[in-house]
Amino acid sequence: MSTNIFWQESPIGKTERQKLLNQKGCVVWITGLSGSGKSTLACSLSRELYTRGKLSYILDGDNLRHGLNKDLGFKAEDRVENIRRVGEVAKLFADAGLICIASLISPYRKDRDACREMMQGSSFIEVYMNMSLQLCEARDPKGLYKLARAGKIKGFTGIDDPYESPLNCEIELKEKEGECPSPVAMAEEVIAYLEDKGFLQNQ
Amino acid sequence: MEGLAIRASRPSIICSLPGLDGGSQRLPLSDGFLRLPTSSYAADKPKLVAKSASLHPISAVNVSAQASLTANFPALSETNVKEERINGDKNKPENIVWHESSICRCDRQQLLQQKGCVIWITGLSGSGKSTVACALSKALFERGKLTYTLDGDNVRHGLNRDLTFKAEDRTENIRRIGEVAKLFADVGVICIASLISPYRRDRDECRSLLPEGDFVEVFMDVPLSVCESRDPKGLYKLARAGKIKGFTGIDDPYEAPLNCEVVLKHTGDDDSCSPRQMAEHIISYLQNKGYLEG
A3-45 pLDDT, tens digit per residue, is: 334 444 568 999 999 999 999 999 999 999 999 999 999 999 9
In a domain, B262, yes or no: yes
- The tens digit of pLDDT for each residue in A146-179 reads 999 999 988 899 999 999 999 999 999 999 887 8
Angle at B39 between CA B142 and CA A16, to 5 degrees: 50
pLDDT at A177: 85
**Position B183 in a domain:** yes
How many A/B residue pairs have CB atoms within 8 Å? Answer: 157
**What does DSSP assign to residue A101?**
E
- Chain B contact present for A196, CB below 8 A: no
What's the farthest any 2 CA atoms get from each other in chain B? 79
- The domain tally of chain B equals 1
Scored b (16 or more CB within 10 A) or e, A12-36 reads beeebbbbbbbbbbbbbbbbbbbbb
pLDDT over 50 at B51, yes or no: no
pLDDT (average), residues A44-63: 92
Residue B118 has pLDDT above 70, yes or no: yes
Query: What residues 29-48 of chain A have any CB closer than 8 A to a CB of chain B?
Result: 37, 40, 43-44, 46-48
- Conformation bin of residue B290: beta by default, left when phi > 0, alpha when psi is -120 to 50: left
Alpha-carbon Rg of chain A, whole angstroms? Answer: 19
pLDDT digits (tens, 9 = 90+) for B83-95: 333 334 444 444 4
Of the pLDDT bands very low, low, confident and very high (cuts 50, 70, 90), residue A76 is confident
Which of helix, strand or coil describes residue B248? strand
Instruction: With respect to residue B94, please indicate whether it lies within any of the assigned structural domains.
Output: no
- DSSP3 helix / strand / coil % (chain B, rounded to 5): 30, 15, 55
Among residues B170, B171, B183, which one has the least CA distance to residue B118?
A: B183
A60 contacts chain B (CB < 8 A): no
Q: Which of residues 67-86 of A touch B (CB under 8 A)?
A: 67-68, 81, 85
- Find the length of chain A: 203
SS3 of residue B10 by DSSP: coil
State residue A10's pLDDT score: 67
Question: Minimal Cα–Cα distance from B87 to chain A, Å?
Answer: 12
Percent of chain B with pLDDT over 70: 64
SS3 label, residue B203: helix
Distance from CA of B93 to the nearest CA of A (A): 6
Q: How far is B98 from chain A (nearest CA, A)?
A: 7
Whole-number average pLDDT of chain B: 74
Q: Looking at the predicted structure, is the pLDDT value of residue B21 above 90? A: no
Q: Which residue has the higher pLDDT, A178 or A115?
A: A115
Residue type, A193: Y
User: Is pLDDT of B249 > 70?
Assistant: yes
A81: how many CB neighbours lie within 10 A of its CB? 17
Structural domain of B248: 113-289
**Dihedral (CA of B90, B93, B99, B103) sign:** positive
Helices and strands, counts by H and E, chain B: 9, 9
A36 SS3 class: coil
**B244 within domain boundaries:** yes
Contact in structure between A39 and B18 (CB atoms under 8 Å): no
Instruction: Report yes or no on B171 lying in a domain.
Output: yes
Q: What are the beta bridge partners of residue B62?
A: B6
Q: What is the mean predicted confidence (pLDDT) over A139-150?
A: 93
ipTM value, please give it. Answer: 0.92
CA B258 vs CA B99, B201, B203, B263, B277: distances in Å: 46, 11, 11, 10, 23
A120: confidence class by pLDDT, cuts 50, 70, 90: confident
Establish whether A123 is a catalytic residue: no
Within chain A, where are the H helices? 14-21, 38-51, 61-65, 76-95, 109-119, 133-139, 144-149, 183-196
CATH number at residue B182: 3.40.50.300
Query: What pLDDT band is residue B46 in, cutting at 50, 70 and 90?
Result: very low
Test the A interface: residue of B38, B103, B208, B233 with most A CBs within 10 Å: B103
Instruction: Write down the pLDDT at residue B33.
Output: 44
- Asked if residue B28 belongs to a domain, the reply is no
pLDDT band, residue B67 (cuts 50/70/90): very low
With bands split at pLDDT 50, 70 and 90, how would you rate the model's confidence at B71?
A: very low
Backbone angles phi, psi at B187, to 5 degrees: -65, -30
Report the percentage of chain A scoring pLDDT > 70: 94
How large is the average pLDDT for residues B49-64?
34
Evaluate whether residue B269 is within a structural domain: yes
Residue B81: inside a domain, yes or no? no
CA B26 to chain centre: 28
Q: How far apart are CA A65 and CA A83, in angstroms?
A: 11
